[in-house]
Structure 1
Amino acid sequence: MKIFWSWQSDTPGKTGRHFVRAALLLAIETLKQAPDVGEPTAAESRERLHLDQDRQGISGSPDLASTIFEKIERSAVFVADVTLVGASDDGSKRLMNSNVAIEYGHAHHALGSEAILMVQNTHYGNRDALPFDLKHKAGPIQFSLAPGAEKAEIEAEQKKLVSQLVVALRPYLEGATAVTGAPFQEATSTTNPAVFFDVAEVLGRVGTGTEDEIEYRFGESSVFYLRVMPAAARPPLKQTQLMDIASRHRPDVLSPYRYSGHLDRNRHGVVAVEPSGTATTPRSVTQLFGTGEIWGISTHFFSTKRGRPLIPMTKLENIYRRALSNYCEILSVGMGISAPYTIVLGAVGLQDAYVGIDNSAEGPIHTDGIEVRRILHALGIEAQEAVVREFVDAILDLAGISRA
């Protein structure tokens, strides 16, 4: 588990960057200490716990900003020194280090606020003087040291800071231990990689018990799919729990029409089916499994132009981004399952299809299917969009073109 530390050098090192770094390293060593009895996976997580910063461990002369951003994206925790180090010309506004602010913004975008911790030396100002969006978050871990602090005072503050850091970091370590447990048992595909059900199986119903009842089955052969699942097994959710989660967080479907799925229960868990008039075949389906897996399928991305099957790529990319964000939110917020997640994006029935991009049709595609499988370590939009972009680029490549 990587902890990325964003430091500032505007205050003296002995009460600033060197002081905080030493406290972080001591906290890590404390967390690495094994209890008398523990699980093997917990020991593995403790051994992987380490501190990273700036260009540490990088050889050569790479672009520094992109290197730091990539490191942040691969971290489990981002620790920022938000000590106030300056003020505006008129003195009305206090300022934190600009590099830390930039790195904080990237971490918030890539990892989310739940992966961020802050430390602050209150000798230079308290949390009330922090930027508006920071002072209203959970308070920074604070210490107070003047530039001329004596050794005994520094040691006393360090002891307190280490204790606070251990408490703050332990939940991340426990979460990392949880995901290194029993491997997740993903749902099994049936007739092709896109589907998890039998052709004759009823996936959902609308108007149950009325003369207008419609039973939905799905037997299409040209299908796009998206799957999101936890990295480790967990106790299965009951159907009542799944329905409550689905009712509160509204599973999206792979459709141009947001939240157009009708909720129902089936043998797999809870499903959202998108009706298509009185037809008994839905245009899209999103299935929530009790295991935590979410599996979406859709026929929306196959149209016909001049007698040729056409895949509208901009539409596909936008809808996949939206659905992936929704699925991740259901897992993280609705089910309380932390990343990393396994993400699977794929399609079957692509043979002879063309891709629609920039008002032109390119292709054809000479293979029937494609699948991209990745691990999503961070819940930020940037990381999600990167996975979808890779999938779209892979489809474009099958059609013999690349993104402009």
Structure 2
Amino acid sequence: MSSSPILPIEILENIVDLLSDDRVSLLRWALVSRNFTARSQKYLFHRVRLGFPGTSENHFMSARISRFVDSLTPRLVRYIKHLSIYNYIESSVPWLGHDRKLALLLPKIEKLESFTLSGPRDVAANKLSPNLLSVLITMLASAEVSEFNLFEIDSFPIAFLGRYCPCIRSITFSLHRTSTPDSGDNLSLPHLRVPTNAGFVERVVLCAASTCFIAALYEETKLPGTCLSFARVQEIEVGSCDDSTLELIKKLLGDSAATPSLKKLSCNFREVSDFSLSNFMQELHLIWLPCSLRKLQIEILHETGAHFLDWLSVALLNSAEVEGGSRRPLEELVLVIHNKRFPDATATLWEAMDAQCAALDRALSVPAYAVALRRVDIFVEVAREFFYTPYAKTQQNLMEDEVFVSYFSRSIDDLYARLPRLRARGIVSVKWRIRRRGNAA
């Protein structure tokens, strides 16, 4: 390799797609620092991801971060725009008390577009020290971070984002159910000043367990002197939903009612239990879909699907009737129906939803959705347990798999036939897929 290569971005993306913190990667980091020109370094260090082993090697973390920090130069730091730290647990060495090396790394960051901090999933209580929290919040404010993602970290003082971070546009929180927001009374933030400009959150990603954090930030933005607002949210993604999540969604939609801004709404209702279904549906029917919506994605269980399809049809019609039934910008509807029912050749999956399917077909065929709506994608997810593992298949297993495939294929055709208006317009697609470990395949 020559001493000063200039490589196009297409080649660089094939050479370096992930920068780890092991010894070999750090040596390569040093090589790049010496031998690559500024143009190539800008692309190489644009996105940095540090992955740690989790709970098994906690005592090595400080040394790993130390090597990483020592390898950085002021010029290289300027090129980092996306920084992600995964499986992180703050050092619990008694004579340290907290991880000083990460506290040295974050202040070096001058300008950052996104920052992700994630702890391991198998650690129930993963709190950060007041010193590290102070450094982290200072970095979020001074580096003008626009996207902040936090996973499996306990007791984050989220209210400080509303006071000092007007540049944040996207927030993703996914935490343990036992986690609650920290007051931040023991933090030291001497270098932070209350900004004079105001900012607006545009994207919110949360789950039922983290609703209390986003709700706390929402309430903070209502106080005098805050620099952040939820009045212009454009995208809401809910990974799991409960009553408190619905209440927060109603507030977010209510704030943007005067100037509708929400373009994408994605809600997962699969975890709503039969025990709380009645009260949940009463609250859900109070939510109106905004007129500005362009994409809507709903995930439901087959067992409770009739209730949610009832709400969806009514909500679509109510939205269409606002302002005299003028055109709506809704372009895409994605409906995911997860089926846990074991295949039964004597019955169809949709007999109990016949009225709801017809109502949905009518609701999406009103004049308000006649122009913009171009896709209605329906996915029927089936449990992986219906099929045998590939390495254990026998001839009998293969025959049973063929029966299952045939059954679900017929069910898809049956559902497709229950949507005649959408079918005539050529915009509806119905497919089935296998769900593996929480992900559709």
TM-score by length of 2: 0.24
Indicate the structure whose relative CO is greater, using CA pairs within 8 Å and at least 6 residues apart.
1
| Structure 1 or 2: more strand by fraction | 1
